Chains A and B, each alone.
Chain A
Amino acid sequence: DAGITQSPRHKVTETGTPVTLRCHQTENHRYMYWYRQDPGHGLRLIHYSYGVKDTDKGEVSDGYSVSRSKTEDFLLTLESATSSQTSVYFCAIRDGGSSYNSPLHFGNGTRLTVT
């Protein structure tokens, strides 16, 4: 299994509070991604990173920010959580040095509930 750790595994927070989710990898992979999973929507890309301090927006980036100060860590921040951000959040990594068909490897997800 790819060395990806997401923390926390579960979190309940109140509307309006800031929340940071962490993704840590031990694979030294260049690419990291944050997805959210909601019933009826599959997985949708929030933000991704293609190197230290290099990030870009995905399909559903509004209300989220990210940071990557080290290769191994990719942080997702909800500046002011809303109920619509209740979801399961997945981090994924990909080895940019491998072949073009290299798959994404996923962490075990963080279930976030905003009350």
Chain B
Amino acid sequence: AQTVTQSQPEMSVQEAETVTLSCTYDTSESDYYLFWYKQPPSRQMILVIRQEAYKQQNATENRFSVNFQKAAKSFSLKISDSQLGDAAMYFCAYRSPVLNYGGSQGNLIFGKGTKLSVKP
């Protein structure tokens, strides 16, 4: 079974600085999808960024980017120019290839999360 590990329960960053959140996963599959979700104190789950394993290019979304190392099974999230609104729990998630006719149904397997604090 696939597992996702976020080894940093808490992280802190100064406003305007850069921070990297770690995520590793265990799988025997060659094709899969990876996601980062943000959960602010409002409890809402917000998609930050996603990556397909077959793509070598690292995904970027504005100030958010990933460092995807397939051989190392690592999927870290880099937040540049950190803002106070970035303070939240961040969850890394894994998805097996979706089989619409049965089997895996697109479920996500989540890590335990990293709580990010941003200092003004």
Contacts and interface: CB of A to CB of B under 8 A. Distances in A.
Interface stretch (B40-48, B65-73, B80-88): B40-48
Nearest to A43: B110
Contacts, number: 50
Interface residues of B, number: 23
B43 A108 contact: yes
B52 interface: yes
Contact of A31 (B44, B50, B97, B106): B106
18 contacts: A31-B105, A31-B106, A33-B107, A42-B91, A42-B113, A43-B45, A45-B107, A56-B105, A58-B107, A94-B106, A100-B33, A101-B33, A102-B106, A104-B106, A106-B44, A106-B45, A109-B43, A109-B44
Given A43-B108, A106-B44, A106-B45, 17 more contacts: A31-B106, A33-B107, A40-B112, A41-B112, A42-B111, A42-B113, A43-B91, A43-B110, A44-B110, A45-B108, A58-B107, A94-B106, A96-B106, A100-B97, A104-B106, A108-B44, A109-B43
